[in-house]
Structure formats: structure tokens, C-alpha cells
Amino acid sequence: MLAPRTLCLAFLGCALSAVQAQQATQSVQAQQQAALPQRIQGGLASNSAISSDSFAPASPSDSDIGVQAILQPVQKYQPFSAWTNWNVFWTSNAQLLDNTNRGSDTFLAGTVGGGYMPSLGGNLFADFSAEQGMYRYARNSSLDFNSTELKAGLLYVVRQLGDLALFSDYTYDMLSSRGLNSQIYGSQTWSVGARKVFTLSRAHLFYTSASADFALGGEPSYAVRNNFSALVGYQCNLTRMLRLDLYYCASAQDYRFTDRADFNQLIGGGLTLQVTKWLGIQAISTMAINNSTDSTYTYFAANLGGGLGIMVNF
């Protein structure tokens, strides 16, 4: 028979593991909710390089002569990119738990990243990127975490299908505590998917993407999952400087080492004031709805905030 002290230590160990697993799951979900809106507003998830300067001004004779395209100098391909996004959000459910336990908070979400996409010949490109993020809560400091994402992959553009982009990536993702002194979650993922932009006019476009993320491994195992997602969005240039984004993302998540499956929906919108070619001021609003076979993680969260984003190509 185990001594009382041994039983007590075993119980505390199990309790600590459960808390760490819950924190890992919450951090992964918080990262997903904050990162996607920032990337869309920053122009990373959609092709926002559609400018009204590419077309002639509207005129009464357009119906007779059609759309007039203005010839522009061919720009040299720029394989390097660097970006940063800093936003402050208010959230109705900081802990991302069932609605009986939710509480609001304000948090800062910031990312800094860089990428290199060299041409390998023809329509094939290599795709390398690294991104560091930080998430800080005003009242629930125990939820603070940092994120590190390293990605390497290939991208192929199918010109015959309107520049349909097919991609395959390997991603290493690590979430760490506020002081960067301990790991909360780590995973390795192989992803495949496709992206497509449908240009309607000089001011309107739709964008779609679909991806399948297969977990190759990670710790803690409780939070390791496969993710299958689809995104559809609409982008409108309201003026030369003001852009509207509306999007919907649905994800089916299969947790590999526990009896749990989630269906997550993220509905969002935002306005971006493009102050310069590289600097944008953004306002973002999202609603996250998560349904899980584990009722603890069935929740609703509304997020509202904004900040600034910078992206440079060179």
C-alpha cells in the first residue's frame, strides 16, 4: 500500500498535469482567435495587392469601350517580407471555458515576423517564415503566453486556374510562459491546402482557402490535434485608403490522444486605414463559437479591438 505522502504527491502531480493541459489548450485556442484576424488585416491571408490605380477612372462610355486597363511598369519580384501587428482586444471570455465560467478581460496581441519566398523555377516557390508573438492579459496574468512559429514549405501557382495556389508546409509551433522559461505547448505539423482569390472589380474581391493540418507530435499530448479548416472572405476597397474585410472560418479539430473533438467557428470583420503602402491602422471584431464533445470547452467569445500593422516587401 502506498504511503499517504506518496498518494498526496501523486494526486498533486495529476492535478498539476490537468492544469497544464488546460492552460495549453486555452493558449492554443487564444492564439488561433487572435492570430487569424491580425493576419487578414495585415494582408497575409488574402491578396490585398488589388489597387484601383490599375484601372482607368469610370466614365459614361464604359459600356461602349469596356474596362480600360492602364499599363504599368513590371515590378521586380520581391521574395523577402517582414511584418508586425500590435492590437489591443477586449474579450468577453478570457479563459475560453463554458459560459458558466466566463469572464471578460483586455489583452495585448503582438507579432513580429519575416518570410522568404524564392522562385524555384516556373510557378514553384519555396516558402520560409518565422514569427514571434506575445499575448498579455490585463487581469488574468496567469493566461499570458508567447508563441514561436517556424515554417518551411512549397507553394505552386496554377496559372491555368486563375492563380490557384497549392501549398504544403512543415510547421514547428511552441507556446511558452510569459518569462520564456518554460514550455506550455509544442507541436510539429504537416499542412496541405489551397488558396484562391476571385477578383470581381477594381474594388471588390472574394478569397477562399482550405487546409488540412496533421499533427506529427507534440507536448502535452492532451492538446495535440489534427485541424481541418475552410476560410471564405470578402474584401472591399471603400476608398483608396480604407479597406473592409469580412470573413468566416470553420474548423473541425480532432484531438489525437484524448476522446475529444471540436467544431470551431470564427466570424470576423474589420476596417483597415492604409496610411502608407506599408502602414495600416486596423479595427477588428470577431465572434468565436466552439462546440466540443468535452462540455468544458463549449464556449462563445466576442472580441473587439484594434491597433496597427506594418508589412514590407523587399
**Distance (Å) of CA 55 to CA 62, 202, 237, 242:** 12, 7, 14, 18
Instruction: Give the tens place of pLDDT for each residue, 241-284.
Output: 999 999 999 999 999 888 899 999 999 999 999 999 899 999 99
Indicate the fold that domain 10-50+80-313 takes in CATH.
Answer: Porin (2.40.160)
pTM strictly above 0.85: no
What is the spatial distance between Cα 189 and Cα 171, in angstroms, rounded to a whole number?
5
What 3-state class would DSSP assign to 27? helix
Around 197, how many Cα atoms within 13 Å sit in the side-chain half-sphere? 17
How far apart, in whole angstroms, are the C-alpha atoms of residue 32 and residue 173?
12
The answer on pLDDT for 166 being more than 90 is yes
Which three three-digit cell numbers place residue 172? 514547428
Summarised one tens digit per residue, pLDDT across range 177-236 is 887 778 889 999 999 999 999 988 888 999 999 999 999 998 888 888 999 999 999 999
Of 134-138, 152-156, 181-185, least confident by mean pLDDT is 181-185
Label the pairing between strands 279-292 and 299-313: antiparallel
pLDDT-derived band at 124 (thresholds 50, 70, 90) equals very high
Q: 307 near 88, Cβ under 8 Å?
A: yes
Query: CA 158 to CA 166: how far, in whole Å?
Result: 8
How many whole angstroms separate alpha carbon 41 and alpha carbon 35?
10
Q: Residue 38: which of 118, 135, 124 has the closest Cα?
A: 135
pLDDT band at 20 (very low <50, low <70, confident <90, very high): low
pLDDT tens for 65-104 read 555 555 555 567 788 999 999 999 999 998 887 766 668 9
